[in-house]
Amino acid sequence: MRAVVQRVRDAKVEVDGQVTGAIEKGLLVYLGVGKGDTQKDMEFIAEKVMGLRIYEDQEGRMNRSVRDVGGGVLLISQFTLFGDCRKGRRPSFDAAADPETADALYRQCAAYLRAAGMQVGTGVFAAHMHVTATNDGPVTLLLDSKQKRGAEPFSS
């Protein structure tokens, strides 16, 4: 499972002109589900998102999490995080999970975050969405549940 995490001042997602999810201060998280991803991968990503210390403390150091600052999470499904652009000009999405699996893990991730007390907004799985965000910092991080210490980032 992969996630792009952006610290935002505010963010919202619209589908067919209707806002389906919005947050004020918090994290915009684009979530991609890959073939072979499981509940364990989802829990790893969700825990990382909640625990990332990317907000400044009183001394100006990145030492506080989204939970610590009372922020929300806007969770957007994004299968294109598994796009492979190494050959040619058209990305291959062979590494992305099938839609049924991806939707289930995406919904489970939103539920997991809510059960942990987070305010969570979501997009609509497989819909054409318009996402608007005001980045804060900017701070943008990449997470991959399959990466181990010392491994190359996003290797295939």
Beta bridge partners of 29: 5, 75
Residue 80 known to be catalytic? yes
Residue of 80, 132, 134, 140 marked catalytic: 80
What is the CB-side half-sphere exposure of residue 138 using CA atoms within 13 A?
9
DSSP 14-79: EETTEEEEEESSEEEEEEE-BTT--HHHHHHHHHHHHH---EE-TTS-EEE-TTTTT-EEEEEE-G
Residues 17/127, Cβ–Cβ less than 8 Å: no
Residue of 6, 44, 79, 82 marked catalytic: 79
CA–CA distance, 53 with 3 (Å, rounded to integer) = 16
Residue 125 known to be catalytic? no
Residue of 6, 44, 78, 82 marked catalytic: 78
Residue 154 known to be catalytic? no
Query: What is the set of active-site residues?
Result: 78-80
